[in-house]
Amino acid sequence: MAAVPSSLEPVKLGSGYNTPWWAHAIKWGLLALVLAAGLFVVQKLVANGSWFGVVITAFILTCVLAVYSTRRAVPMKYLLPGLVLLVTLQIWPIVYTVATAFTNYGQGHVLSKEDATAQSIAQSVKEVEGSERYKLSIAVPEGSDVATGDLVFLLTGADGKMQVGTKDGLTELSADGVEKTDTGKITKAPGYTILNAKEANSRSADLEAFAVPVSTSAGIKAVGLSGAFQGAPTLTYDKAADTLTDTVSKEVYSPQNAYWATADGKRLPTGWKENVGSRNFSDLLTNPTIRAGFFKIFLWNVAFAALSVASTFLLGMLLALLFNDEKMKGKGLYRSLLILPYAIPGFVTALVWASMFNQEFGLVNSLTHLNIDWLGNAWAAKAAILIANLWLGFPYMFLVCTGALQSIPGDVKEAAKIDGANAFRTLRSIIMPLLLVAVGPLLIASFAFNFNNFSLIYLLTQGGPFATDNTSIGSTDLLITYAFRLAFSGASPNIGLASAVCIFIFFIVAAMSYSGFRRTKSLEEVN
């Protein structure tokens, strides 16, 4: 959005207003604060080596400086904060979701192929036969933080020889000032801070990755917190053939479905992230098990949204008609009390209804003397959700219908009466059409909202109950709760497939909103 100097650029005719000094101070103070924060982030990014982030942050900072430190680009001064957030937190996630939908990102597929291969090789390290065992003390160089400093291994060999192992290799440790236990474990060494068990434990991830190189293929690794051995990986990577070979069992692993696997199906645990093209999408549409569930969910999703809108609108409208009588007393009190269900936060409503639908102790069964397993039976759970949503949503419809009814001019009704229309006819031919014109777009908006009503379903039933033979698809699942479960729970989270489901929802919601916009126009023309 190229900013052109606006017509609002002050043409100073009078001298009535001088920008006070504190306004300048606030402006430059804020600018300095933003710059400082930005530079802090840049420094962190550089330390981390993520140059992509550095470029983005530097670009944003430059924009901020260019826009706010000059007198030009006035509209941009007002648009920039929103624009930056919009691009980084709404447009970028959309792009990233689309990109992820074409990958197999998920449990066991988080690393790049290079990292996954390196990890597989590192995990295959075995003790070299006949090599020596060391007593180990884990330390950091004196003066550095025990939680972040470079790890150092203080090693005592079987013959009592002491060595210092760093990530660069082994060096001798002179005996001056060194204290050892009877077993030979070093407890004090000048120049190093030895970690206690708790501190060492908290760095277990670093320890896992740390090895003191002793030759090109072998290294000294820790076993537990007080021992170390010299080991060498049993897997070797052949770059030309793109295979991993186990030097002990002579098995050859080649890439299959983003895992290293042998011809007879033996697989290494670490997989990698790779591009799977449109496989996630085609799975949703053609894989028989996924497809059946996906369509079942889709149908219920549409039915849920449509029935919710219909039931809340009907009840809301009837109540609005009931209270739409000028002569009735106490309407204000009724209204204030009737909107209470809408004022309760959604999560409270869903959780309270979930307790009320409890089969053994719930209020619903005890009031009606029924014994329905509301949340355990597929159809009862659907009914329970619709009932809870009716309670939650009717006040909104009641309010908007009341507003719409009050805005219908009295002379229209009077004209109908003069023409001899009875009350029912007036309602059907005059009031209803005018009401629908006013609230039509709201009904569409409400449909779109309920289509993705994640918190109600998730908090009430978690998408369940689940069939015993298929635990991935619940009978009250919406597409969005299904995607959520795919991405974050279940046996093997699959964010790639979840993103593909999200993109389906995108298109459905976009189609609905588009028709909503179109309909708004056509409805307005009716008026």
Partner 1 sequence: MSNVTDAAAIAIPEGRTATAKSPRAAGSGQWWRHALGVIALLWALFPIVFLVSAALNPAGSLQTSSLIPSGSSLANFRTLFGDSSRPYVDWYKNSMIIATVGSLGSVFIGACAAYAFSRMRFAGRRPGLLALLLLQMFPAMLTFPALYLTFAKVGDIVPALGLNSIWALILCYLGGAMGANVWLLKGYFDTVPKELDEAAKVDGASHARIFFTMTLRLVMPILVTVFMLSFVGLFSEFLLASIFLQDVNSQTLGVGLYSMSIGNEKNRLFGQFASGALLASLPVVLLYLGFQRFLIGGMTQGSVK
Question: Which residue is it, tokens 């530097």?
Answer: 58
Q: What strands lie across the sheet with 252-256, from one edge to the other?
A: 235-238, 243-246, 252-256, 259-261
Determine which residue in the list 30, 55, 66, 94 makes contact with partner 1, applying CB under 8 A.
94
Tell me whether residue 346 is exposed, middle or buried, using C-beta atoms within 10 angstroms of its C-beta: 0 to 12, 13 to 18, 19 or more: middle
Min dist. Cβ of residue 158 to partner 1 (A): 40
Alpha carbons 509 and 305: distance in angstroms, whole number: 12
CB 104 within 8 A of CB 159: no
Residue list 462-491, contact with partner 1 (CB under 8 A)? 462, 480, 483-484, 487-488
Q: Which stretch binds partner 1 (CB under 8 A): 95-103, 174-182, 199-207, 211-219?
A: 95-103
Judged by CB under 8 A, the residue of 38, 53, 227, 255 near partner 1 is 53
Q: Which residue has the tokens 């050892």?
A: 180
The answer to whether residue 272 forms part of the interface with partner 1 (CB under 8 A) is no
- Residue closer to partner 1, measured from CB, 211 or 480: 480
The verdict on 123 binding partner 1 (CB under 8 A) reads no
User: Could you tell me what percentage of the chain is helix, strand and coil, using 3-state DSSP and rounding each to the nearest 5?
Assistant: 55, 15, 30
Read off φ and ψ for residue 380, nearest 5 degrees. Answer: -65, -35
- As measured in angstroms, the least distance from the Cβ of 141 to partner 1 is 24
Look up residue 389 and give its two tokens: 């949503």
67 touches partner 1 (CB under 8 A): no
Regarding 117 and contact with partner 1 (CB under 8 A), the answer is no
Q: Which of 56, 58, 75, 262 binds partner 1 (CB under 8 A)?
A: 75
* Binding test (CB under 8 A) with partner 1, winner from 138, 194, 268, 354: 354
Question: Under 8 Å CB-to-CB from 242, ≥6 apart: which residues?
Answer: 254, 255
Nearer to partner 1, 343 or 418 (CB): 343
Residue recorded with tokens 């309270």: 352
Q: With contacts defined by CB under 8 A, how many residues of the chain interact with partner 1?
A: 132
One residue of 70, 148, 286, 368 binding partner 1 per CB under 8 A = 368
Among 348, 412, 415, 467, binds partner 1 (CB under 8 A): 348
* Closer CB to partner 1, 64 or 138, in the complex: 64
Check: CB of residue 390 under 8 Å from CB of residue 312.
yes
User: Is residue 63 a contact partner of residue 31, using CB atoms and an 8 Å limit?
Assistant: no
Q: Please, which of residues 371-410 interact with partner 1 by CB under 8 A? A: 387, 390-391, 394-396, 399-400, 403-404
Applying CB under 8 A, which of residues 31, 34, 79, 146 lies at the interface with partner 1? Answer: 79
CB of 387 to partner 1, least distance (A): 6
213 binds partner 1 (CB under 8 A): no
Decide if residue 302 touches partner 1 (CB under 8 A): no
Q: Which is nearer to partner 1, 156 or 283 (CB)?
A: 283
Cα–Cα distance measured from residue 210 to residue 220, given in angstroms and rounded to the nearest whole number: 9
Q: What is the residue whose two structure tokens read 């709404």?
A: 90
Say whether 470 sits in a helix, a strand or coil.
strand
**418 interacts with partner 1 by CB under 8 A:** no
Query: Which span sits near partner 1 by CB under 8 A: 79-87, 154-162, 213-221, 222-230?
Result: 79-87
Report the residue from 58, 146, 214, 352 that binds partner 1 according to the rule CB under 8 A: 352
> What residues between 316 and 345 interact with partner 1 by CB under 8 A?
318-319, 321-325, 327-330, 334-345
**Residue range at the interface with partner 1 (CB under 8 A); choices 184-192, 260-268, 313-321, 466-474:** 313-321
Distance CA(442)–CA(91), nearest Å, equals: 26
Q: How far apart are CA 55 and CA 42, in angstroms?
A: 9
Q: Least distance from C-beta 466 to partner 1, angstroms?
A: 15
Distances from the Cα of 499 to the Cα of 212, 280, 404, angstroms: 41, 9, 40
Closest separation in Å from C-beta 204 to partner 1: 17
Alpha carbons 450 and 81: distance in angstroms, whole number: 31
Q: Which of 28, 51, 295, 347 binds partner 1 (CB under 8 A)?
A: 347
Query: What would the x/- binding string for partner 1 be over residues 499 to 518, using CB under 8 A?
Result: x--x--xx--xx--xx--x-
* Angle, CA of 159, 162 and 166, to the nearest 5°: 135
Complex with partner 1: residue 173 or 315, whichever CB lies closer: 315
Burial class (CB in 10 A: 0-12, 13-18, 19+), 128: middle
Bridge partners (DSSP) of residue 97 are none
The answer to whether residue 202 forms part of the interface with partner 1 (CB under 8 A) is: no
Q: Which is nearer to partner 1, 133 or 519 (CB)?
A: 519
Q: If binding is defined by CB under 8 A, does position 292 make contact with partner 1?
A: no
**Could you tell me which stretch among 184-192, 215-223, 259-267, 422-430 binds partner 1 (CB under 8 A)?**
422-430
* Under rule CB under 8 A, residue 457 binds partner 1: no
- Cα distance between residue 408 and residue 434, in whole Å: 7
- The reply on whether position 48 binds partner 1 by CB under 8 A is yes
Q: Which residues pair with 127 in a beta bridge?
A: 231
Question: 16 or 130: whose CB is closer to partner 1?
Answer: 16
Task: Compute the least distance from the CB of residue 296 to partner 1, in Å.
Answer: 20
Cβ contact 447:512 at 8 Å: yes
Binding status of residue 81 toward partner 1 by CB under 8 A? yes
Q: Under DSSP, is residue 255 helix (H, G, I), strand (E, B) or coil?
A: strand
Q: CA geometry: angle at 51 spanning 45 and 54, to 5°?
A: 55
Structural tokens at position 418: 């003069």
In the bound state with partner 1, the residue whose beta carbon lies nearer, of 21 and 424, is 424
Based on its alpha-carbon atoms, the radius of gyration of the chain, rounded to whole angstroms, reads: 34
Show the 3-state SS of 263-311. CCCCECCCCECCECCCHHHHHHHHCHHHHHHHHHHHHHHHHHHHHHHHH
**Is residue 89 part of the contact set for partner 1 (CB under 8 A)?**
yes
By CB under 8 A, residue 181 contacts partner 1: no
281 sits near partner 1 (criterion: CB under 8 A)? no
